[in-house]
Structures are given as structure tokens and as C-alpha cells.
Amino acid sequence: MSQPTTNQPIFTIRGKEPLIAILVEEHGETVTYYFNSYKEADTFTKKRNSIQKAIETAGAWKDIDFNEMLDELDQIRHQSKPTPLFEIDK
């Protein structure tokens, strides 16, 4: 049997192997990733979720004025007592 001509990847699922489709939003477009292994699909999902959490964390700071934050941190530094020196017995 001849394979169809296409520029898209082709893979074969045999027997009782699963076909898992994961839809992801990328650059305003829905992209579908296919896996035939639960382990690979799970790894992909966990990696995507950790990346998304990092992006969301970075975005959580977007409403903070940078100079105001630096001023507040400087105030905290000046209001705090310094850590006492300690001596090492020799």
C-alpha cells in the first residue's frame, strides 16, 4: 500500500495502543498533539503545565511599579536589624 504524500508527520497505531489527542492553544491557534503512549502524553501535559505556571507567575508582577517596589524593599532593608556577627572558635 502506498503512503499518502503530505508534509505532515504520519504514524501508525497498532493493536490496542491508545491514540491520545491533546489540544493546546498556541499563538491564538488551536494545535492538536497526538500520542500513542499515556506516559508520553502525561509528560507532555506536565511540561506544558509547568511552563504555563511560570508564565502566569511572571505575569502576576506586571501590575507592580518597579521603582515603587525597589523603594519598598529599600525601606524594609533599612528598618530591619542587621544579623549579629558570630565568631568561630578555633
Q: Specify the pLDDT at position 66.
A: 84
pLDDT at 39: 93
* Global model pTM greater than 0.85: no
Long-range contacts of 46-51 (CB under 8 A, 24+ apart): 48/24
Rounded-to-5 percentages of helix, strand, coil across the chain: 40, 15, 45
Give 24-81 pLDDT, tens digit per residue: 888 889 999 999 889 999 999 999 888 888 877 777 777 788 888 899 999 998 898 8
